[in-house]
Chains A and B, each alone.
Chain A
Amino acid sequence: MNLKFLNPFFLPLLSLEILIIILYLIKPKRLRLKVPSLLLWERLLKEEPIGRWFKKLPKNLILLLQILTVMFIILFLSKPVLSFEGIAGRPVIFVLDSSASMTAKDISPSRFERAKTEIINFSKKIHNKASLIIVKDKPQLLISSGKNTEIEKVLKDEKPFLGEGNLNYAISYVENLFPKESCDIHIFTDGTEKLDIPKNSQNNYFIHIIGKGGKNLAILDGRVFQKNEEVSQIFLKIGNFSNNSEEIPITVKNDGKNLFRTKIHLQQKEIKTLTFETPILKGKIEASIDMKDDLPEDNIAYFYVPDFSPKILIITMGNPFLEKAVRAIPGAKVEIRRDIVKIDFKNYDFFIFDGLIPYLKIPGKFLFIGAYPGMDPNKIEKVGKVKILSWEDHPILRFVQLYGTQIDNAYVFKDEKLKTIIYSTKGPVGYYLKEENMEGVILSFDLLSTSWIYHDSFPLFIYNLIKYMLSYDPQRQVQENLNFTGFYEDPQDKRVYAINLFSEKESKIEPQIGSQEVISSKEKPKEKSYISLDLSYIFLFLALIAIFFEMLLYMGGRIYT
């Protein structure tokens, strides 16, 4: 315990106390007055109860109160601070790893549940300000400098994240959370990720390893490719993270029906990539390891092969090259119209407007040739005969050779919404437009006025465009908003996605942090902590009380002072 004065130069004013005593001693005595009788005065004083009470007080109480008042005021001004060493703890931050490996059941009921219990038990023992961070693909601050009682309430409903965690990102987040305070940071993790704790950190780190390692067989990656028109290839990367070699049975299903079963032999800690060939696959495909282990979430791989059969509407006055290029797309269902009347746009996936442009904007994916809806006539410039010079590196223009292509009659659209993708000698002639409900490409020239339609790059451009606009990658990893593995149908675009864990880091459930590292973190010397109690306001309060009593005495002292 240590008492310090922040403004010690006020302390010499305590000598004023002597002055008060001197003034008290030399103050004029009261006037003695003879009266015929005290009978009436005594009667009067009997009727004033406060007078009787004050009569019992020591005669120099006013002096005592005056001395105390001055002393308290001087002490208030000198700002005394009382410091207690080690009584108050520093703020505690709990960091809970909730990555997929924390769902491992090598300890009962699971690593995650055990970590939750340990945090709750730990928090009950402390009385410091506590913060709670749960680490998913990014850290989430659930409690900031709250009461330890809140932790149990918040943790109760928390579930593990079935994706990859990022503890090191969480550590850098924690380091910046309370930059002015030194905190005790307790990380509850299974140790599958090596921690990068800053060496010059002002915080103390305590790492609590939950989990002892166990048996895990995992599908670490996978893909389904179409080898040709009849054969599909399935690639699976399978790992054995147990301490024994294993004979691993694998089953592949397509839309719930067993496609084939096989077995592979993997040595301990071995990772092997397998390739299987099957008749052409479409729809939902599942590859599963039919063995029990401590982390079942990585035992099944999900794949989805979408059926590519787009419905394409071409509105043209007649362009055989364009029609032929669209019909050449495998699986495409093409309809050709010569006018824009009575078209139900909901029935088509893609629209090609060749010269015939709708007056109003329509939602969907499209190719506009010659013009586009809603264009401003003042922002059109006729540039006439041009040659294509360059083009952007865009998936739509992959493998497309446009250099030198001659255009007899081209226009330049000076609309800020348009993003140029094709450049000619006199300005841009190909644009990409993406608005709220519309997405597509605009060509500012008539196809029949160019030599492009005679070259191979034209059908390639059409194929790239429709593939780019209508196809998608159905493979996804677990994210915060998709915290599960399996199939997911997007309610907006009705596309089906296959969501997988596919993480070697998470499947390796054996702690990567050695016990030595954990011990050294725990043995890091604690910084001394202090609680500083500002006593100045206590003295101000005491001074006010003394003044109040002085006033009371004065009021009573009208009779007895």
Chain B
Amino acid sequence: MDFGNPSKFFYGKKLALAFAYLSLSSWEKTTFSYFQDKTKEIIPLERKKENIYKLLNLLNEIKPEGITNINETVKKYASSLRRKGILILISDFLSSDFKEGIIYARYKKLPVYIAHIICEEEISPFYSGNLTLVDSETGEKIDLFLDDDMKIKYQKTLEKFLNEIEYFTMLYNVEYLRSITTIPIEDLILKYLRVGGWIK
């Protein structure tokens, strides 16, 4: 998540903060959690608006690291819930499979909202030539020669990937929002989320 300018992680944190604030402002009981391969921390914000600073402090501390496992994390989180609420999941969904977790959450009757964060570099890679690409999470490597032809093929693959997610969310009645980090967070919340019906 620590890629892009601003980084997807930073953008995600801001988005999480905004959602928390909006929720607390509406007198909703709110819980924040962040995960890597498993849930790292859960902060119950209750209905107290002043707890937003607690969240803010936490967000300042956490760093992007480790391997992501959305399925396991979501499953465990969904099964631990005693009361029904909505689940807002903020991720770039590039790390592992996420479908089982979402399906489980839907099985538990949780309304799921997905905020998919992507950065500009992922849409059109700015690098080219003889490259060794290193996975930032796993450390795996791929040697390739990246030229315009390959970039076009990559973009087609990306488009296919995004379409797959869209199709999946439609299939399981999951609210889906995709955002690029270059869109200011204010615009996202005040314009796009409102247009999308996420907030009124």
Contact = CB atoms under 8 A, between A and B. Distances in A.
B55 interface: no
A41 interface: yes
Interface in B69-86: none
**Interface class of chain B by DSSP:** mixed
A32 B134 CA distance: 7
Contacts of A343: none
A397 B33 CA distance: 145
A35 B143 contact: no
B158 interface: yes
A390 interface: no
Contact of A40 (B2, B94, B143): B94
A40 B131 contact: no
Interface in B113-171: 122, 127, 129-138, 140, 142-145, 147, 149-150, 153-154, 157-158, 160-161
A45 interface: yes
B25 interface: no
Nearest to A44: B157
A324 interface: no
Given A35-B3, A37-B95, A47-B157, A560 B144 contact: yes
A558 B147 contact: yes
Given A30-B131, A31-B127, A38-B140, A43 B145 contact: no
B142 A33 contact: no
A44 B130 contact: no
B144 A559 contact: yes
A36 B138 CA distance: 10
A34 interface: yes
Nearest to A559: B144
Contacts of B3: 35-36
B149 A558 contact: yes
Given A558-B144, A559-B145, A561-B145, A40 B132 contact: no
Contacts of B161: 39-40, 43
A435 interface: no
**Which of B1, B122, B144 counts the most chain A CB atoms within 10 A?**
B144
Nearest to A27: B130
Contacts of A31: 127, 129-132
Nearest to B139: A34
Contacts of A45: 142, 144
B94 A36 contact: yes
B133 A35 contact: yes
A32 B2 CA distance: 17
Contacts of A36: 1-3, 8, 92, 94, 122, 136-137
Contacts of A30: 129-132, 143
Contact of B157 (A33, A40, A558): A40
Nearest to B149: A558
Contacts of B8: 36
B92 to A, nearest CB: 6
Contact of A42 (B129, B137, B142): B142
B94 A37 contact: yes
A558 B145 contact: yes
B110 to A, nearest CB: 26
A48 to B, nearest CB: 8
Contacts of A34: 133-136
Contacts of A370: none
Interface string B79-107: 00000000000001011000000000000
A296 interface: no
A557 B157 CA distance: 19
15 contacts: A30-B129, A32-B131, A33-B134, A34-B134, A37-B92, A37-B137, A38-B138, A39-B161, A40-B158, A41-B142, A558-B147, A559-B144, A559-B150, A560-B143, A561-B130
Interface of B: 1-3, 8, 92, 94-95, 122, 127, 129-138, 140, 142-145, 147, 149-150, 153-154, 157-158, 160-161
Given A31-B132, A40-B122, A44-B153, 5 more contacts: A35-B3, A35-B136, A36-B94, A559-B150, A560-B144
